[in-house]
Structure 1
């Protein structure tokens, strides 16, 4: 691979999916911000299940390279991840770029030597996935984290020192959805007519998002505020959470509550969905930044989050924190009463985090960390999952 010798290198950003997950949102927004600065940037991704494109339109200034990845019946998660790595590795063209920047475990294992953004650290028990996760931290020649808390986890676990570059936020998109513009008012009204007054969680039903805790908290809250609905949006993921979803459904029946599960919401409709909620709930047990909650702040919504060091770092006093289910229910109830000062502080925080700034900081990082000469490829060392 060639070295960076200009402020506008040829950059490849790699992600594992075309679905609306946090790391994918990050990749596309960062790519578009880089392209706006004149960078030749290409986004590589697996196109799962026959996807012809990403979950949203992408600025044509960004080149897209989507690698077909067909579903296979009966395939385990480990087999699927190993096949994902092999498929992306076979298709990727490293010599076309000055900077190769992987955004996840799959892409980092596929391309070998690269820059890696570690959005958060996962915990696996399957040996192949444990190896995959560790290699994706150790093998890259330089690392970025989106928060100091995640960078500290990397330092404590591996003795490495990533650079912290926070996420940007598409502030105006969500602020406009909360405005008095007639179109924005009408879009919010449509959600309210459909859902009533609602507590919203974005990210689907899965263990990391604390969905069952939120369900339990809502059951307590509903006794005091029977007019409120609980709404879940999103949820596309690589992993199999059927057991967790079965437990969620069992608990739902036991509590006799009926949350509304929207699944994936069209990207153009998401800002108005967020802007129309009474409270935005974010009880995740593991996060790297909390982009969905930051978008809710941009829309001026009160936000309740899990008491986590990472979220304290990112959100400071702009949100309400809760550790237990009763605390979560109490915090959701308290958030129903408008707090104009906190809402204004939340908007100010969200507006201060721009993708342009994130892109500039990435370019400065690239200039300080050019690709090593004669860098090994993924095929030069042991390959995770090789037979």
Structure 2
């Protein structure tokens, strides 16, 4: 295929050249185990320390508050399970939302079914935003944890994290946020936002796959998640993924350094794409908040077509896109996020997520829009629902 336009950066991103270059020596030259005592090991240990400092700087944390994991899913599981185990004698109530990533939702389900937890799943408005008054009403004397994602991975809506953190602080409740999509894309300050725990994953910001972190505020005494050796200050055992950690540090530093200029360009291209699609293709709608959304996220629902068919035709045109979360792309069920914002099943099924990168150009988007117009028209021509609709609305 001569042309390929990658617009699925919420699923994963291309590892940046400078990140790969930073990692390479730790595969073949500086390969020592950080837990050993010789100089080769000390080089690896120093590299981990530097990466921890690079990452902590992005969110205003202390380096010792950063704990490396295998990714965002592990970090989410750790935050929820360990907090519940710590505080379940005080209370068994957790508050989250209906639009969380399945790493949160399925962990909450596990705690409900197996550990006696009681979980409140907050509704969101039509733009996917939590209502603060609903959060306040949901709090009980047994509430021990609030977990609300920073920005949604499907529709891009950014939550009022600072206000949620303030509410949690006022009630003496731990606050965790899944920031996998937000880290490196929007400014985050854990102190200003009163965040006690935060999850992130490197491969969303041009870093390597298989490495993430959980920020745990000093004084939050949750247990270790993986038992064994004394790595990560005895909280997450296992020989450290030194190349991955180095790559994460380089990617985090790069994301912070380029954030303002990069996201400004992405935001303009995002709005250009949204305007062209919604004006030039009838019977479609933007999902998510039109303003309070990630700078690179576009999520559109097209009536009278199936998202899966749309993706297949787009792939044939050299366009990589998604119908929602990469973790649920094999499911035929409509997105739980789109259902939560009030879309009926038949419209939720016709959703398309396009997520841009710093390499995306206006010319790329013009090509995408033209192909989308052709494909949507072709699929609608094959749709009996569309035919009936047009007959009724002549």
- Tell whether the structures are fold-level matches, with TM greater than 0.5: no
Q: Which TM bucket (shorter chain)?
A: 0.3 to 0.5
Which is bigger in relative contact order (C-alpha 8 A, separation at least 6)?
Answer: 2
TM-score, structure 2 normalization: 0.32
TM-score, structure 1 normalization: 0.32
